[in-house]
Structure 1
Amino acid sequence: MRRKLFTLDRPAHKDRGHPPLVFVHGGYTHSGCWDVNFLPFFQERGYNCYAVDLSGHGKSSGIEKLNSFGLDDYAADVRELVASLDAAPVLIGHSMGAIVVQRYLEKSHAKAVVMMAPVPPTGLAAAGVQLAIRQPDFIAEASRAVRGEYTEKTIRVMREVYFSPDVSAEQFAVFQPMVQEESTWALTELMSLAMRMPVKRPRIPALVIGGQLDALFAANRLYMTATGWNAETCVIPRAGHMLMMDPQWPSVAQKIHDWLSLSFGLD
């Protein structure tokens, strides 16, 4: 049965003929994370922007069977959105969303791809062990966060894991209601990425960008993703995991804009 997908459609303020941008959120959140800073930024620079709620997330259907959705289902969501566009897009995926766009590109085409704070090809297991050592309370507090049961400790731990030390209380408060449950099946797949056979990747421009202070996926592991795509790699100083909402987001957005301009000779 076809799922009903919700997409934020944010047209360019002045269409300059740039390729459309398709934004794919990470786990435990929805498309609203892009709408705070990134979509207005790129609209102003002449891009038609689209941010999808993956199945079971945000305003898309399927929350009642969220745990049955896997990465291929999420890739199919992206494929459905791309099929509705007039031109091949640039895909911009964050965290789990970076894996989703990679899975999409196994069978479909895009003009370019940007992978922000990507889950490493080795999967979540190693990163989870390191996080458990640094933040032993994270699992318990994240469970409270997805239920909307924030305590002072929950706020502190979630801020430390997802953002840089520069995040304000007001900035974090915008993020709080965006946290939701994630599919157990998708998480299981992310745990076992290293066991999946390598696949042929399309030869398209690729950028891998991460935060210097990302507590989930260390910046020194970005090369693991970049190598397979022959991608340019960029580390944003003092940025945390939620690159599109972190106080350092202007540097992230500007880097992507500059890279797109250089890659495609845009104004």
Structure 2
Amino acid sequence: MTDQRTPVVLIHGLWLHSSSWQPWTELLLAEGFAPLAPGWPGEPDNASDARSHPETMASAGIDEVTEHYATLIAALPAAPVLIGHSFGGLIAQKLLGLGLARAAVAIAPAPIKGVAPLPLSQLRSAAPVLRNPANRTRAVSLTAGRFRYAFGNAVPRQESDALFEAYAIPAPGRPLFQAAFANFSRSSPAAVDTRNTRRGPLLLMSGRRDHTVPDVVTRAAYKLYGGSTAITDLEQFPDRGHSLVVDQGWRAVAGCALGWLARQGITGRSTTAGL
């Protein structure tokens, strides 16, 4: 019997393991969806192994990650909803622009080509990678202190440290370099088809205390969609940082996403039959 549930593909960003989506997958299952939280290309099955073998993820760039998820989507019984965080939000936007998803939620998404603001906090968050050109071909780890600045600045230190221990993994440097120089490249992999009028609805979310993807960056991305008649919405969380999908307040973010999907007519039971 064909599964009639609406598929949801959860796409994580840099420095978090795919297991960080577990609370979301449990909630989505309870809401009648069919969630999947696959890792990036080469990502080991658990955070411990990922820390022990960073070389398995070192070569992944934006195009490779996009193709990885596009292949997974092609095997699904129906067009999925995409929920992406950070660089996962950028990948979700690319896939939506390509017409491979029913809808997308991009949470604190990494900047797409055309986004101009470059706040100091964003530069500081990316500094462990961008300060060394050799990191283009490496997977780079954060310390607990750098994780607190980049992810956990809006939660107590104890919670930030617990999230670091549970989910932090090395991240490939290549996507950060690609995004950082996107506006200087005619064919940047960080480019998204923001003018596509036939794509599904898109929700962009931001945390106003986010150091890694500050609210002004997400708002700039939102403005780039002004030339499309397709639905594009923006939701801002005043007291949230980059850890908003994994910290103690994750359920409010998930609830907002589910409420928005419901307003688009998208629930756990699929009413469409494929891509």
| TM-score scaled by length of structure 2 | 0.75
Distance 1:126 1:179, change over 3 A: farther
The equivalent residue for 2:263 is 262
SS at match of 2:109: coil
Supply the distance in 2 between the matched residues of 1:110 and 1:157 (Cα, whole angstroms): 34
The equivalent residue for 2:244 is 243
Query: 1:54 aligned to 17, 21, 40, which one?
Result: 40
Query: 1:25 aligned to 12, 15, 19, which one?
Result: 12
5+ residue gaps, structure 2, are 130-134, 226-230, 269-275
Q: Once the two structures are superposed, what CA deviation does each residue of 1:195-219 show, in whole Å capped at 9, x if it has no partner?
A: 3556453421110011121111111
Distance 1:113 1:126, change over 3 A: same
SS at match of 1:53: coil
**Cα shift at 1:241:** 0.4
**Cα shift at 1:225:** 1.8
Conserved in 2, the CA contact under 8 Å of 1:92 and 1:116?
yes
Supply the distance in 2 between the matched residues of 1:188 and 1:64 (Cα, whole angstroms): 18
Conserved in 1, the CA contact under 8 Å of 2:147 and 2:160?
no
Supply the distance in 2 between the matched residues of 1:147 and 1:120 (Cα, whole angstroms): 21
Distance 1:263 1:241, change over 3 A: same
SS at match of 1:68: coil
SS at match of 1:215: coil
Query: 1:34 aligned to 14, 21, 33, which one?
Result: 21
| 1:192 aligned onto 2:181 | yes
RMSD: 3.3
Which structure ranks higher in relative contact order (CA pairs < 8 Å, sequence separation ≥ 6)?
Answer: 2
Which residue type is aligned with residue 21 of structure 1?
V
SS at match of 1:194: helix
- Percent identical pairs in the alignment equals 25
Which residue type is aligned with residue 228 of structure 1?
L
Which residue type is aligned with residue 34 of structure 2?
N
Supply the distance in 2 between the matched residues of 1:146 and 1:186 (Cα, whole angstroms): 12
Distance 1:64 1:156, change over 3 A: closer
The equivalent residue for 2:30 is 44
Q: Once the two structures are superposed, what CA deviation does each residue of 1:140-175 show, in whole Å capped at 9, x if it has no partner?
A: 9xx9x9658xxxxx4344223202433462564143
Conserved in 1, the CA contact under 8 Å of 2:115 and 2:217?
no
Of 91-100 and 196-205, more deviation after overlay is shown by 196-205
| TM-score scaled by length of structure 1 | 0.77
Conserved in 2, the CA contact under 8 Å of 1:75 and 1:103?
yes
Of 222-231 and 200-209, more deviation after overlay is shown by 222-231
Supply the distance in 1 between the matched residues of 2:128 and 2:54 (Cα, whole angstroms): 21
**Cα shift at 1:115:** 0.5
Conserved in 1, the CA contact under 8 Å of 2:10 and 2:35?
yes
SS at match of 1:114: strand
The equivalent residue for 1:179 is 168
Distance 1:186 1:124, change over 3 A: farther
Supply the distance in 1 between the matched residues of 2:90 and 2:200 (Cα, whole angstroms): 16
Conserved in 2, the CA contact under 8 Å of 1:78 and 1:101?
no
Distance 1:72 1:49, change over 3 A: same
**Cα shift at 1:228:** 3.3
Supply the distance in 1 between the matched residues of 2:120 and 2:241 (Cα, whole angstroms): 19
SS at match of 1:56: coil
Distance 1:194 1:114, change over 3 A: same
Q: How many residues align?
A: 242
Conserved in 1, the CA contact under 8 Å of 2:201 and 2:264?
yes
Supply the distance in 1 between the matched residues of 2:72 and 2:266 (Cα, whole angstroms): 26
SS at match of 2:204: strand
Supply the distance in 2 between the matched residues of 1:240 and 1:38 (Cα, whole angstroms): 18
Supply the distance in 2 between the matched residues of 1:121 and 1:266 (Cα, whole angstroms): 28
